[in-house]
Amino acid sequence: MSQRTSRSSFGVPARAVAAFVLLLAAVSAHAEASSGSLHDSAMLFIHRCAQCHTVGGGRGVGPDLAGVTSRRDKDWLVGFIQNPDPYLDKDAQAKKLLAEYGDLRMENVHVTKAQAEGLIAFIQSASQTPSPELRSPDEGWHGFSVPGLLIFAVLAAGTLIVSVFGARRDAAVLAVFCAASAYWAFGGWRYFRLPGDQQGHIPPQPIAFSHELHAGRLTISCLYCHGGAQRSDSAGVPPLSVCMNCHVAVRSVSGAKEPSPEIAKIVAAYDASVSSPTARGFAWNRVHHLPDYVHFSHRAHIANNLQCQECHGPVQTMTRMRQAAPLTMGWCINCHRLTPKDAPSHWKRVGGPLDCASCHF
Ligand code: HEC
Ligand code: HEC
Ligand code: HEC
Ligand code: HEC
Ligand code: HEC
Ligand code: HEC
């Protein structure tokens, strides 16, 4: 074979591949841009609705909203979410729900029509995902990119075919694109971390909340604030309304003459969220963060009677929350391998799954 023919056969697939990649990148960029508002609605849901509702995580204070968009008329939902009061007073369907929920009325959460529509779009989309339990909003809702996966599949097939026909250089070019698209498909650099590099992570927080004070000295149960751990994949961080259960009255620490400036911040942030429906919710900085391609469920572990401290360390002594465990794959596996002889006796069952699909979808 002459030098020239091998060069031209090198050029064609490479250019075709580049064009294809650009096209799909554009498609993917568009998909990400339009999911931005869904992300905002997810944030809104977590701040305003998640203390009472789950989407697929089971009944909470209010109904599980999975599939509610097919149970109810859209206009009814938009109206109800904006202001449930007139419905709970007069509408037959709402009155029936109210009776079912022991006369506990959904409060008026003050959202605009556009926000209500966004919330409905979000609930609909969350109802469709295979693992609908709510995760923290900053994790993003798109762990991997569908166009990325598509390119990956096409390129992998191409590489295989080209290498069968013996064109080594073409196969090598395709393989490089293939690896790059796999990297992109699974979230790229946004989710990249070195194993174990987050142990000890201790980010600053907007309010100096202390677990040592609340869980330690005041002995408030972990589940009072993180009840999600029993019911869903994620434990969840409590909304400010939970803090206000006490801090509506407690404005200073014992022994101090002046009100606590840290508590004043809670009250101000809470008042802002109540008086202005459009204000973005208050956000804590996330401490623990598994990559999106890992599935972890609090419910499964708590149901087996594992204690929070077995994974999170002595939280009740932490004035500022830190990541005590490495959260690497080896850390999960080592515990799943424990035998009845080594495992703590308070667990109901010993031995977690070791197959890849249990932790990676
Ligand atoms: C304080 C608790 C609470 C909050 C916060 C709350 N809800 Fe509700 N929600 C309820 C309860 C309880 C019901 C059942 C009706 C009743 O008893 O008032 C309900 C009913 C509903 C229904 C009707 C469900 C069905 O099966 O038809 C929808 C939809 C809904 N809520 C959406 C939302 C959205 C969206 C938010 C956030 C903007 C929200 N709720 C915030 C407690 C709450
Ligand atoms: C009074 C409410 C309250 C109680 C009680 C409480 N927490 Fe928290 N927890 C919070 C708040 C608020 C945050 C977010 C701020 C922070 O990270 O300090 C948080 C954060 C956390 C985080 C880190 C979340 C992340 O971003 O990764 C863990 C883990 C945690 N709590 C575990 C526990 C455990 C275990 C207990 C019981 C020993 C407990 N908490 C008791 C309110 C509470
Ligand atoms: C088997 C180990 C394990 C146990 C037991 C456990 N956690 Fe976690 N926890 C984790 C891991 C792993 C993450 C990170 C999850 C992620 O990033 O998706 C986490 C994250 C969290 C977070 C922050 C993210 C979220 O899920 O909302 C909180 C809050 C939390 N845990 C609280 C608790 C509380 C409270 C308990 C006890 C009731 C508990 N955890 C028990 C392993 C555990
Ligand atoms: C069950 C009641 C209760 C709940 C719920 C509660 N706190 Fe507290 N908190 C207290 C009490 C009581 C004190 C004062 C302790 C003392 O006297 O030293 C306090 C003190 C504080 C302080 C100390 C301020 C300082 O100047 O040292 C901060 C900050 C605080 N709380 C934040 C929060 C946040 C944030 C939440 C919600 C996640 C919350 N608290 C939920 C009861 C509660
Ligand atoms: C301290 C011990 C311990 C650690 C650490 C631990 N697990 Fe587990 N896990 C268990 C035990 C015990 C079971 C079995 C529970 C049962 O059979 O009910 C289990 C069960 C599971 C299951 C099956 C239940 C389900 O959700 O369907 C999954 C998945 C899982 N663990 C994932 C993880 C991941 C991911 C990590 C690391 C981020 C992890 N685990 C860390 C002890 C642990
Ligand atoms: C018990 C849960 C669990 C099981 C079972 C499991 N993994 Fe993982 N895997 C994890 C966690 C957690 C991480 C994230 C580690 C990190 O971020 O440091 C991970 C990360 C990875 C990574 C990314 C590389 C890295 O180390 O960061 C690959 C690749 C991987 N797993 C492949 C596999 C394969 C193949 C299997 C089956 C043989 C498997 N996993 C089984 C929990 C699990």
Contact assessment for residue 112 and residue 44, using Cβ atoms and an 8 Å cutoff: no
Closest approach atom of ligand 1 to CA 115? 38
CA of 149 to the centre of ligand 6 (A): 19
Q: What's the predicted TM-score (pTM) here?
A: 0.64
Residue among 193, 296, 336, 356 whose CB has most ligand 5 atoms within 8 A, to mutate: 336
Closest approach atom of ligand 1 to CA 94? 15
- The reply to whether ligand 2 has any atom less than 6 angstroms from the CB of 287 is yes
- Name residue, tokens 């202001």: 83
Contact assessment for residue 293 and residue 191, using Cβ atoms and an 8 Å cutoff: yes
Q: How far apart are the first and last CA of the chain?
A: 46
Q: What is residue 179's predicted lDDT score, i.e. its pLDDT?
A: 79
Closest approach atom of ligand 6 to CA 352? 1
- The reply to whether ligand 1 has any atom less than 6 angstroms from the CB of 66 is no
Q: What is residue 310's predicted lDDT score, i.e. its pLDDT?
A: 93
Q: Which ligand lies nearest to the CA atom of residue 246 in the structure?
A: 4
Q: What is residue 7's predicted lDDT score, i.e. its pLDDT?
A: 44
Distance of CA 71 to the CA centre of its chain: 25
pLDDT, tens digit (0-9, with 9 covering 90-100), for 49-76 = 877 787 776 777 788 898 899 889 999 9
- Name residue, tokens 């490479």: 14
CA of 315 to the centre of ligand 5 (A): 20
Helix (H, G, I), strand (E, B) or coil at 64: coil
Q: What is residue 196's predicted lDDT score, i.e. its pLDDT?
A: 44
- The reply to whether ligand 1 has any atom less than 6 angstroms from the CB of 67 is no
Contacts of 138 (CB under 8 A, 6+ apart): 283, 286
CA of 332 to the centre of ligand 2 (A): 21
Q: What is residue 117's predicted lDDT score, i.e. its pLDDT?
A: 93
> Where are the chain's structural domains?
3-34+145-191, 36-139
- The reply to whether ligand 6 has any atom less than 6 angstroms from the CB of 290 is yes
Phi (first) and psi of residue 96, to 5 degrees = -65, -45
Distance of CA 239 to the CA centre of its chain: 15
Protein residue closest via CA to atom 1 of ligand 4: 246
Q: What is residue 134's predicted lDDT score, i.e. its pLDDT?
A: 35
Q: Which two tokens stand for residue 249?
A: 């009255």
CATH of 36-139 among 1.10.10.10, 3.40.50.10540, 1.10.760.10, 1.20.120.1810: 1.10.760.10
CA of 211 to the centre of ligand 4 (A): 9
Q: Which two tokens stand for residue 15?
A: 């250019």
Length of the chain: 361
- The reply to whether ligand 6 has any atom less than 6 angstroms from the CB of 295 is no
Q: What is residue 11's predicted lDDT score, i.e. its pLDDT?
A: 54
Protein residue closest via CA to atom 23 of ligand 2: 287
pLDDT, mean of each 10-residue run, the chain (361 residues): 43 61 54 53 76 74 87 94 94 92 84 92 71 32 59 85 83 80 60 53 90 90 92 92 89 87 92 74 86 93 94 93 91 93 91 92 71
CA dist 178 and 186 (Å) reads: 12
pLDDT, tens digit (0-9, with 9 covering 90-100), for 261-293 = 999 999 998 888 887 766 666 789 999 989 888
Protein residue closest via CA to atom 34 of ligand 6: 356
CA dist 309 and 341 (Å) reads: 21
CA dist 343 and 323 (Å) reads: 23
Cα dist from 63 to 47, 75, 81, 85, 90, whole Å: 17, 19, 13, 17, 19
Quickly list H helices, 165-258: 168-185, 211, 222-225, 228-231, 240-247
- The reply to whether ligand 2 has any atom less than 6 angstroms from the CB of 178 is no
Distance of CA 182 to the CA centre of its chain: 22
Closest approach atom of ligand 4 to CA 238? 38
Report residues whose beta carbon is within 6 angstroms of any ligand 3 atom. 136, 222-223, 226, 229, 234-237, 288-290, 296, 298, 301-302, 306, 308, 310-312, 327
Q: Which two tokens stand for residue 361?
A: 């979808």
Distance of CA 141 to the CA centre of its chain: 7
Contact assessment for residue 315 and residue 321, using Cβ atoms and an 8 Å cutoff: yes
- Looking at residue 243, its amino acid is C
Q: What is residue 137's predicted lDDT score, i.e. its pLDDT?
A: 31
CA dist 53 and 59 (Å) reads: 7
Q: What is residue 22's predicted lDDT score, i.e. its pLDDT?
A: 61
Sign for the pseudo-dihedral over CA of 39, 117, 126, 276:
positive
- The reply to whether ligand 6 has any atom less than 6 angstroms from the CB of 125 is no
- The reply to whether ligand 2 has any atom less than 6 angstroms from the CB of 237 is yes
Cα dist from 347 to 309, 328, 336, whole Å: 14, 22, 12
Distance of CA 100 to the CA centre of its chain: 30
Contact assessment for residue 64 and residue 58, using Cβ atoms and an 8 Å cutoff: yes
Phi-psi category of residue 187: left, alpha or beta, with phi > 0 → left and psi -120 to 50 → alpha: left
